[in-house]
């Protein structure tokens, strides 16, 4: 898994793998930030964790080449971006075409990029949420797989809305990874397909934002 920060999605996925509800082996956590707390979480679970710091490379292409070498050392069937905050080069995306997923904290195509909760509140949006998609060259624009809608409450602040979306993320992402692991989900011809049927839109999964 690739991460840049606290690794809350990493922790949720690793927990599902440990309890047997998600039929995967989490082979490693790799970060662009040596101090990322997600790496500490991985090490505490006995999962290999390492950093490929951006500052060690002259440009983005060189960094992505080194990052790909570390990923390939673990031979993953799926590359999972769990809060990885860097934009990949086209060559990197092509290397893992159709086997790299990302989760984004909005109902794409709304609010691509950063500060999604703040922007949703500023717009007076009634619904927010999270989306899982295959990674493409387009920022937060790859083939959509699934979305979990989250209501925006009149009393919401950026922090309370973020917490509700995170609860949905921690349930939706393991679910979608499980579809891939069980052979139900594939990306073919730039389009996600579930159970052999191309998706005309993301699968909408309701009610994932409640208290755990």
Q: For residues 201 and 191, give the distance between their C-alpha atoms in angstroms, rounded to a whole number.
A: 10
Burial 46-77 (b: 16+ CB within 10 A, else e): ebebebbeeeeeeeeeebbbebbeebeeeebe
Extents of the domains making up the chain: 2-204
Please give the radius of gyration of the chain, using alpha carbons only, rounded to the nearest integer: 17
Which of 104, 117, 128, 170 does the annotation list as catalytic? 104
- Per DSSP, the residues of 143-161 read PEEEEEEEEPPTT--HHHH
> Quick one: pLDDT at residue 188?
87
Average pLDDT for 20-34: 97
Tens-digit pLDDT profile for residues 110-147: 999 999 999 999 999 999 999 999 999 999 999 999 99
CATH classification for the domain delimited by 2-204, as one of 3.40.718.10, 3.40.190.10, 3.90.1200.10, 3.40.50.170: 3.40.50.170
Average pLDDT for 28-56: 97
- 104 flagged as catalytic: yes
> Quick one: pLDDT at residue 210?
84
Tens-digit pLDDT profile for residues 45-76: 999 999 999 999 999 999 999 999 999 999 99
Tokens of 130: 């999270």
* pLDDT beyond 80 at 80: yes
């Amino acid at each position: 898994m690739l991460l840049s920060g606290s690794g809350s999605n990493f922790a949720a996925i690793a927990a599902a793998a440990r309890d047997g509800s998600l039929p995967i082996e989490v082979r490693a956590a790799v970060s662009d930030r040596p101090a990322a707390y997600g790496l500490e979480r991985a090490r505490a679970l006995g999962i290999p964790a390492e950093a490929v710091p951006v500052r060690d490379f002259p440009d983005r292409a060189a960094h992505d080449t080194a990052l790909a070498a570390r990923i390939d050392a673990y031979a993953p069937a799926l590359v999972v971006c769990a809060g990885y905050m860097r934009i990949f080069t086209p060559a990197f995306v092509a290397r893992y075409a159709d086997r790299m997923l990302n989760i984004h904290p909005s109902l794409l195509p709304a609010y691509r990029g950063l500060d999604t909760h703040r922007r949703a509140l500023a717009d007076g949006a009634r619904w927010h949420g999270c989306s899982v998609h295959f990674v493409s060259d387009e920022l937060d624009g790859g083939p959509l797989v699934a979305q979990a809608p989250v209501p925006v409450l009149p009393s919401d602040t950026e922090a309370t809305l973020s917490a509700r979306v995170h609860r949905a993320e921690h349930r939706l992402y393991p679910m979608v990874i499980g579809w891939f692991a069980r052979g139900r989900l594939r990306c073919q011809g730039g389009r996600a397909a579930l159970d052999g049927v191309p998706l005309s839109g993301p699968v909408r999964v309701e009610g994932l934002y409640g208290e755990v």
